Structure 1
Amino acid sequence: MKLADLDVIVTSPTAPGWGGRYWILVKVTTDTGIVGWGECYASTVGPEAMRHVIRDVFERHMAGENPENIELMFRRIYSSGFTQRPDLTVMGAWSGLEIACWDILGKDRDRPVHALIGGKLNDHIRAYTYLYPTRDTHTLPNFWVDAAMAAESALDMVNKGYTAVKFDPAGPYTIRSGHMPAMRDISRSVEFCAAIREAVGDRADLLFGTHGQFSTGGAIRMGAAIEAYSPLWYEEPIPPDTLREMQKVAEAVNIPVATGERLTTTREFAEALRAGVQILQPALGRSGGIWETRKIAVLAEAWDAQVAPHLYAGPIEWAANIQLAATIPNILMAETIETPFHSALIKNKLTVENGFVTVPNGAGLGIEVDEDLARANAYDGDGLHLQMQEAPISYHEENVFEGGAPSKT
């Protein structure tokens, strides 16, 4: 069996559009006719340019190869161009293609992916959700800076069975390096934590999200302000390329530090562990794929750290996350996004019930992709999957930031 053909589909989720402006899906076919699906998480270049990157990676390093030879193909790509270091865009291309290889191998053997990478240890995976509007009174963009609305959304999610909710009221993500948060951003973050904790009590963990927007000193100030509400984690408080500084934050703040959605391969995650990160958040469509992230999980286990796969993408990456989570002893939880489009794209093969995802036992990733639906919603915009704010934060006015990919209406 050889890898023979590749198709790349860039699909745009319908309203409300949670999960980014578009998802990059890869369809890989073998010379025996088996089809595998994968997903490349975001990209630092536009989707048309990314198509060419994905195709170059496939044709240069994978076409004609046995899909079993995951490690061989990874080494070719990791070493390409005399680099021997992680390249975010190239590894993003490989990650989605690698997921497709595992889908192929599972289908060829009529076994789920988790059976091929160590076997199923966990039948059910604890899920968490970001707080999105849940009521007609939750208007945008006000929802993102209104603690009362966030608390209502949190209560709604907990009443559905979720035992962990994530929110990020701490101000905008800008193209500048880490900044000192405005005092009103700190106050709003405390207000969110207090309101949500009051609403859910001890029924759920609070996950405090940021996206690397703070300076080291700013991160320590923010962390100290919210400690009293016992968040389960403090997510990526400083930029991801300053992991040595992360250790200062981890040592100064009494909240477990989490990071990983913008890291790739064992090399970068090992540095995060050395910096005191206690919860790793790999996005499998970027981190190196299923096998490389299995290695990352082993590294984390040796450091007594836990893994919580990140998801701000489509359901194929979600399916890969769940297959990996089924096999590792140090899984904490997995991010989920519940929208009708996410469900429809994989024909409802993954669901959240009472706050947990049941690991599917079907062949490969355990999902069925609605290819017609994906193609019918082709992305025709010019934005990136996620985009940072160019303007600096304000120290006079309220900082309102709807996110890197504003919702559709």
Structure 2
Amino acid sequence: MKVTHCDTHIVATPAPHVGGMYWIFVSLKTDAGIDGVGEVYAATFHPEVMVKAIEDVFERFLKGQDPHHIERFFREAYSSGFTQRPDLTMMGIVSGLEMACWDIIGKAASKPVYELIGGKVNDKLRSYTYLYPKDKNGDYNYDNVELAVECALAEKERGFTALKFDPAGPYSAYSGHMISLEAMEKSATFCRRIREAVGNSCDLLFGTHGQMVPASAVRLAKHLEPFDPMWFEEPVPPGQSEAMARVAAKTSIPVATGERLTTKYEFHDVLKHNAASILQMNLGRVGGILEGKKIAGMAEAYYAQIAPHLYNGPVGAAASIQLAATLPNFLIQESIGTWDGFHAEVLEEKINWQDGYIIPSDKPGLGVELNMEAVKACSPYRGKTLHLSMDPRPYDVKRESGTEWKHIPEK
């Protein structure tokens, strides 16, 4: 069997753009008549650039090749241009093409991918959702603690046992910085009020999007410790594990990180420095399903757990679910609500979510098929904004209330 064609679909998400401004799907065709679908989570460049890059990688390293040969494809693409180092955009492209290959492999074997990478360990996957509080006008408001509490109670009633929020913004391109005392107190208030509302029925997951210097992260952690969050996410910018390790050593809250990292090499750096005990790789960026499996195995030896990150479309989610089903050190999977709305519309059959858990599909391959009518109706993306954006101004404590900042949450 040989891979013969690759099509890229840039799907514009409808307002309020939950899951990002657009999703990048890839479809592979083979000479055996078996097709596969994948998703690229790489937001460094505009989709018009990404389409050209995906075509280049496909033509160089995958066209005419057997889709079963995952290691060969990964190593040749990883070494492209004499680099042999983690490249976020290249690995995002590899991830999408690689998961499409696994979709083909599973369909050829008439088995779900999880049966081909170790077998299913978890029949259901505990999931968490980000809080999306709406005001009386139906607009999202992430700065109002009363709305956050209402939203938390609603998600608890739906069945979620873990809730994520990130009130410590705004998020500047000039991070890391020292956040204000006001921001620290606001963060503690969110944790206190939500903890009082949900009790011990829900874990609290506190996100920071790498905005702080280590000293500021340690100060904030002290404010949050009384409410026992399950994790303190990405307290410092990615890229220096030793800095994050200094934070982890000074707080009782487990540190989580990984959504902006790629390949086993960057995650090994996190583990060897004891920078985090919870790894959050995104399957559409990290290097694909096999690379994710290797990272999880490496983490297992460090007694670290896996909480896959997901702020993109449902194909990447399907790949993440297939991997998570096989992991003995799985902790929790990010869910975008209960996979309704546009995440359901672009699939022939939505992801199965029941009472707080994701149920892995037992269909061959990744277990999902694109609804091409819905995909084509929202293609191409004509905007200029990237998948996610940070504020272009330096952090200013007098603007930190959010009235002058455009708060664009990661998830």
8 A Cα contact 1:5 1:63, kept in partner: yes
Partner SS for 2:200: coil
Aligned pair in 2 of structure 1 residues 406, 312: CA closer, same or farther (>3 Å)? closer
- Which residue number corresponds to residue 151 of structure 1? 149
**TM-score, normalised on structure 2?**
0.96
| 1:263 corresponds to 2:239 | no
* Identity in percent: 49
Q: State the AA in 1 paired with 2:114.
A: H
Q: Distance in 2 between matches of 1:121 and 1:391?
A: 46
8 A Cα contact 1:210 1:234, kept in partner: yes
- Which residue number corresponds to residue 387 of structure 2? 385
Unpaired segments ≥5 residues, structure 2 = none
Q: Distance in 2 between matches of 1:95 and 1:72?
A: 14
Q: Distance in 1 between matches of 2:409 and 2:336?
A: 15
Q: Distance in 2 between matches of 1:294 and 1:105?
A: 16
**TM-score, normalised on structure 1?**
0.96
- Which residue number corresponds to residue 241 of structure 1? 239
| 1:45-79 deviation per Cα after TM superposition (whole angstroms, max 9, x unaligned) | 11000111111111101111100000011000111
Partner SS for 1:15: coil
Give the deviation of 1:406 after TM superposition.
Answer: 9.4
- Which residue number corresponds to residue 367 of structure 1? 368
- Which residue number corresponds to residue 278 of structure 2? 279
- Which residue number corresponds to residue 99 of structure 1? 99
Aligned pair in 2 of structure 1 residues 163, 138: CA closer, same or farther (>3 Å)? farther
What RMSD in Å do the two structures reach over aligned CA positions? 1.5
- Which residue number corresponds to residue 39 of structure 2? 39
8 A Cα contact 1:347 1:369, kept in partner: yes
Aligned pair in 2 of structure 1 residues 399, 153: CA closer, same or farther (>3 Å)? same
- Which residue number corresponds to residue 59 of structure 1? 59
Give the deviation of 1:346 after TM superposition.
Answer: 1.7
Q: Distance in 2 between matches of 1:221 and 1:346?
A: 44
Give the length in aligned residue pairs: 405
Q: State the AA in 2 paired with 1:283.
A: N
Q: Distance in 2 between matches of 1:190 and 1:406?
A: 20
Give the deviation of 1:108 after TM superposition.
Answer: 1.1
Q: Distance in 2 between matches of 1:12 and 1:405?
A: 18
8 A Cα contact 2:22 2:387, kept in partner: yes
Unpaired segments ≥5 residues, structure 1 = none
| 1:397 corresponds to 2:399 | yes
- Which residue number corresponds to residue 352 of structure 1? 353
Q: Distance in 2 between matches of 1:318 and 1:406?
A: 16
Give the deviation of 1:33 after TM superposition.
Answer: 1.7
Partner SS for 2:125: strand
Moved more, 9-18 or 157-166: 9-18
Partner SS for 1:145: coil
- Which residue number corresponds to residue 329 of structure 2? 330
| 1:178 corresponds to 2:176 | yes
- Which residue number corresponds to residue 109 of structure 2? 109
8 A Cα contact 1:243 1:271, kept in partner: yes
Give the deviation of 1:349 after TM superposition.
Answer: 3.2
Q: Distance in 2 between matches of 1:137 and 1:273?
A: 45
8 A Cα contact 2:37 2:369, kept in partner: no
Moved more, 227-236 or 375-384: 375-384
Moved more, 340-349 or 394-403: 394-403
Aligned pair in 2 of structure 1 residues 335, 373: CA closer, same or farther (>3 Å)? same
Could you list the structure 1 runs, at least 4 aligned residues long, displaced by more than 2 angstroms after superposition: 135-141, 401-407
8 A Cα contact 1:42 1:313, kept in partner: no
| 1:306 corresponds to 2:305 | yes
Q: State the AA in 2 paired with 1:150.
A: A
8 A Cα contact 1:190 1:225, kept in partner: yes
Q: State the AA in 1 paired with 2:384.
A: D
| 1:125 corresponds to 2:112 | no
Moved more, 105-114 or 396-405: 396-405
